[in-house]
C-alpha cells in the first residue's frame, strides 16, 4: 500500500531525461521488482502517451505479484491491449505470464530477469572465470534453464521471443539462436536478491510494522539508495547497492565493456539503467549504449 503519498507521485521516477541519442530507443516503464509501485491505470496511460512522443517503443515492466497485484495487472494489461501499437510486457511471475500470453497479439511477453535464474552473487562470480574450477561447474554457472529445449519451448509456446539477462562476471554461454530466443542484457546494474519485504519502507514506520509484505510505502526507494559493504571481509568487497526491496551489484567498467561486446556478438539488445530501480532504455545500437554508459556512469 502507498502511504500518505499523492497518487500522481507514482509516476515520478528518479531518472534524469535521457541523452538525446536515446530518443529512438525503447523505454522500459514499470516496477520490475515491487508490486506496490504498480502504476494506477491513469498513470500508466499518461506514461504510455508521454513516452510515445520521445521513444520508439514502449515496454511495460511488471513485478512478481500476489492476488491484489494480479487483479491490478489484469486492468493495466487490458488498457495496454487497447492502444494503437502492440506493447512489450516484461514478466517476472509465472502467473503474470499466463495473463499476458492470453493477449499476446497485443502484449508481447518477455521473460524478465527474475525468471531467468542464474548465479549473480558478486561475492563469488568475479572469481569464477579466474580460478581453476571444475569445467562443468563453470559452464553451469554461465547457463540457465533456458538451455533446455523443453524449457525454451515452453516459453515460446507462451509467446516469449526475448529473454532478459544480467551482465554476469562469469560470462554467459548459451546458444540463443539454437534456442529460438533473443537475449536482452541489463547494464550497468544487476540484481542480487529481491523479496516482498521492503528494507527502505521501514524507515518511516514503527518497528512492529517494518519488513513485512504489507509495510506501508512512502516511496523511499525513489529518494534513497544505500551502499553495502561487508566489514568482516574487506578482501572481497562487492559493489552492492540496496534500493527498495532489492539488492543490486554495480558492474565495473571492464564488465560493462565485456557485456556490450557480448551483446554485439550475439545480436542482443542492451537495457540501460540510470539507477537500479528506475526507468530503462533498450537499444540495439551498441555504440550508442557505450557512449550513454560512459556519459552517465563514467
Partner 1 sequence: MASQIPGRRIGIASPISMPEEVEALAASGATEFYCGVAVESWAQRYGNLAWLNRRGVGAANPNLDALRRLVVEANRFAIPVAVALNSPFYTASQLPDIVALCRDLADVGVRRVIVSDPGLILALRASGSTLAISASSVAAIRNSQACEFYRDLGVQRVILPRHMSLGDIQRIKERAPDLEIEVFVLNDGCTYEEGSCATTHAAGAFCLTEWSYAFARFDGAPLSGEERGALDRNVTDYKEWIWYLSNCGHSSSARRLPNGPCGLCAIWDFCRVGVDCLKIVGREAHPHRKLLSLQLVKTVVEQVEQGASKEQAGDFARELRETPDLCDSNYMCYYRDGSGKER
* Binder among 3, 46, 121, 252 for partner 1 (CB under 8 A): 121
DSSP state of 2: B
The answer for residues whose C-beta is within 8 angstroms of residue 106's C-beta and 6 or more apart is 80, 81, 82, 83, 86, 87
Contact 106, 115 (CB under 8 A): no
Asked whether position 156 contacts partner 1 by CB under 8 A, the answer is: no
Q: Which of residues 224-253 bind partner 1 (CB under 8 A)?
A: 224-232, 240, 242, 247
Q: Which of residues 66-105 bind partner 1 (CB under 8 A)?
A: 66-70, 93-99
Q: Considering only 76-84, 219-227, 252-260, 287-295, which stretch makes contact with partner 1 by CB under 8 A?
A: 219-227
Integer Cα distance of 88 and 102 in angstroms: 14
Q: Which of residues 5-64 bind partner 1 (CB under 8 A)?
A: 14, 33, 64
CA end-to-end distance (rounded Å), the chain: 36
Tell me whether strands 280-283 and 269-273 are parallel, antiparallel or unpaired.
antiparallel
* Binder among 10, 108, 141, 251 for partner 1 (CB under 8 A): 141
Q: Which is nearer to partner 1, 82 or 208 (CB)?
A: 208
Asked whether position 1 contacts partner 1 by CB under 8 A, the answer is: no
Contact 77, 100 (CB under 8 A): yes
Q: Considering only 19-27, 112-120, 252-260, 288-296, which stretch makes contact with partner 1 by CB under 8 A?
A: 112-120
Asked whether position 123 contacts partner 1 by CB under 8 A, the answer is: yes
Sequential DSSP letters for 147-210: GSHHHHHHHHHTT--EEEEE--TT-----HHHHT-EEEEEESEEEEEE-SS-TGGGGGS-GGGS
Asked whether position 143 contacts partner 1 by CB under 8 A, the answer is: yes
* Binder among 6, 20, 53, 136 for partner 1 (CB under 8 A): 136
Output the nine-digit C-alpha cell for 100: 499476458
* Binder among 36, 275, 280, 281 for partner 1 (CB under 8 A): 275
* Binder among 210, 258, 266, 297 for partner 1 (CB under 8 A): 210
Q: Considering only 45-53, 103-111, 202-210, 284-292, which stretch makes contact with partner 1 by CB under 8 A?
A: 202-210
Integer Cα distance of 20 and 38 in angstroms: 27
* Binder among 41, 42, 49, 137 for partner 1 (CB under 8 A): 137
Asked whether position 177 contacts partner 1 by CB under 8 A, the answer is: no
Beta bridge partners of 213: none
Size of the site for partner 1 (CB under 8 A): 77
Integer Cα distance of 74 and 252 in angstroms: 38
Q: Which is nearer to partner 1, 24 or 202 (CB)?
A: 202
Amino acid at each position: 500500500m502507498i502511504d500518505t503519498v499523492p497518487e500522481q507521485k507514482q509516476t515520478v521516477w528518479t531518472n534524469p531525461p535521457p541523452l538525446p541519442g536515446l530518443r529512438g530507443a525503447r523505454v522500459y516503464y514499470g516496477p520490475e521488482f515491487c508490486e506496490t509501485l504498480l502504476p494506477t491505470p491513469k498513470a500508466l496511460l499518461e506514461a504510455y502517451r508521454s513516452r510515445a512522443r520521445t521513444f520508439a517503443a514502449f515496454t511495460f515492466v511488471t513485478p512478481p505479484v500476489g492476488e491484489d497485484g494480479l487483479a491490478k495487472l489484469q486492468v493495466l494489461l487490458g488498457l495496454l491491449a487497447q492502444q494503437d501499437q502492440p506493447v512489450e510486457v516484461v514478466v517476472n511471475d509465472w502467473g503474470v505470464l499466463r495473463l499476458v500470453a492470453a493477449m499476446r497479439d497485443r502484449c508481447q511477453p518477455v521473460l524478465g530477469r527474475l525468471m531467468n535464474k542464474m548465479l549473480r552473487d558478486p561475492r563469488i562470480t568475479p572469481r569464477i572465470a579466474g580460478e581453476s574450477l571444475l569445467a562443468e561447474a563453470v559452464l553451469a554457472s554461465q547457463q540457465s534453464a533456458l538451455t533446455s529445449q523443453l524449457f525454451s519451448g515452453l516459453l515460446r509456446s507462451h509467446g516469449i521471443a526475448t529473454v532478459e539477462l544480467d551482465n554476469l562476471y562469469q560470462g554467459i554461454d548459451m546458444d540463443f539462436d539454437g534456442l529460438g530466443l533473443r537475449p536482452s542484457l541489463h547494464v550497468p546494474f544487476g540484481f542480487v536478491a529481491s523479496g516482498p519485504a521492503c528494507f527502505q519502507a521501514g524507515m518511516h514506520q514503527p518497528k512492529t510494522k517494518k519488513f513485512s509484505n504489507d509495510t506501508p510505502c512512502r516511496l523511499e526507494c525513489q529518494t534513497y539508495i544505500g551502499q553495502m559493504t561487508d566489514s568482516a571481509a574487506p578482501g572481497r568487497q562487492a559493489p552492492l547497492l540496496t534500493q527498495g526491496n532489492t539488492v543490486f551489484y554495480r558492474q565495473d567498467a571492464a564488465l560493462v565493456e565485456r557485456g556490450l561486446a557480448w551483446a554485439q556478438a550475439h545480436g542482443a539488445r542492451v537495457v540501460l539503467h540510470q539507477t537500479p530501480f528506475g526507468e530503462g532504455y533498450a537499444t540495439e545500437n551498441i555504440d550508442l549504449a557505450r557512449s550513454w554508459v560512459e556519459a552517465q556512469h563514467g
